Amino acid sequence: MKHSYMKSMVVACLATLSFIGFNATATAATNYKVVKGDSLWKLGKRYSVTIDDIKKLNNRQGDMIYIGETLAIPSKTKVLAAETTEPSTAAPAHTAKPEAKPQAKPAEQETPAVSISASEKDLLARLVEAEAKGESYEGKVGVATVVLNRVDSPKFPDTVTGVIKQVVGKAYAFSPVQNGSINKPASEDSKKAVEQALTRKDRLDNSIYFYNPKTATDNWIRSRAVIKTIDHHVFAK
């Protein structure tokens, strides 16, 4: 009787220690500060965890991240250690364990290739609205893409704000900044166009200019190599 009681106590203690070890290791994480060019997909590959792992640990629903924010990245080695210390619940020999379902990879268009701040995203959407109001959704995406291409180009400022508010000669590079129409709120289509452009799926062959050939008065802009025409805008580089 005494031996049975001691055996039960030992089993109970081991189970308790396993449970404590599981909870302690399952929450282990690394704090990471988001920088330009980061995305959940890239962070998942870097730390060998899934996007869902990161979103669950940070209580996130969407896939957008912003420059300067701090994310908790789950430690893959700690998660594995937690799994091995959990009390065994092995099924009987005659019962086959269900196969684990493979982790589905999120659609590529849902994962931004670059991250910008919320204020810059709003500024870009307002520029798109002012420059491409009345244009198709594709045309709006094109305008946002040109701005992002300029950020990547050594010929222009390296931030969205810097590109949009750049002064060329005695005027702003974009007329909506000059005439104040950029201060009007953006439409939902313009906001969605910015999100689409951030995926960088179609960079318009790195076009860094767009213009309306019916109203453009600068002959120099007409000398640039034309990449594509969308609605009333010619996109060039």
Residue 26 pLDDT exceeds 50: no
Measure the N-to-C terminal CA separation of the chain; round to a whole number of Å.
87
Dihedral of CA 112/116/119/122: which sign?
A: negative
Say how far apart CA 174 and CA 146 lie, in whole Å. Answer: 12
Range of weakest confidence among 47-61, 80-94, 146-160, 208-222: 80-94
* Residue 168 and residue 119 in contact, taking contact as beta carbons nearer than 8 Å: no
Predicted pLDDT of residue 103: 54
Predicted pLDDT of residue 147: 98
Residues 6+ apart with CB under 8 A from 210: 131, 142, 143, 146, 233, 234, 235, 236
Cα–chain center distance at 213: 34
% of the chain surpassing 70 pLDDT: 73
Average pLDDT over residues 14-42: 63
Q: Tally Cβ neighbours within 10 Å of residue 83.
A: 11
Enter the tokens of residue 37: 């060019």
Predicted pLDDT of residue 14: 46
* Residue 88 and residue 18 in contact, taking contact as beta carbons nearer than 8 Å: no
* Residue 160 and residue 147 in contact, taking contact as beta carbons nearer than 8 Å: yes
Average pLDDT over residues 11-22: 44
Enter the tokens of residue 71: 């994310």
Residue 217 pLDDT exceeds 80: yes
The tens digit of pLDDT for each residue in 123-141 reads 999 999 999 999 999 999 9
The tens digit of pLDDT for each residue in 59-116 reads 887 777 888 888 888 876 544 444 444 444 454 444 555 565 555 444 444 567 888 9
The tens digit of pLDDT for each residue in 191-211 reads 999 999 999 999 999 999 999
Nearest alpha-carbon partner for 113 in 203, 208, 32, 41: 41
The tens digit of pLDDT for each residue in 169-190 reads 889 999 999 999 999 999 999 9
Residue 56 pLDDT exceeds 70: yes
Average pLDDT over residues 25-30: 60
Predicted pLDDT of residue 21: 42
pLDDT band for 44, please (50, 70, 90 cuts): confident
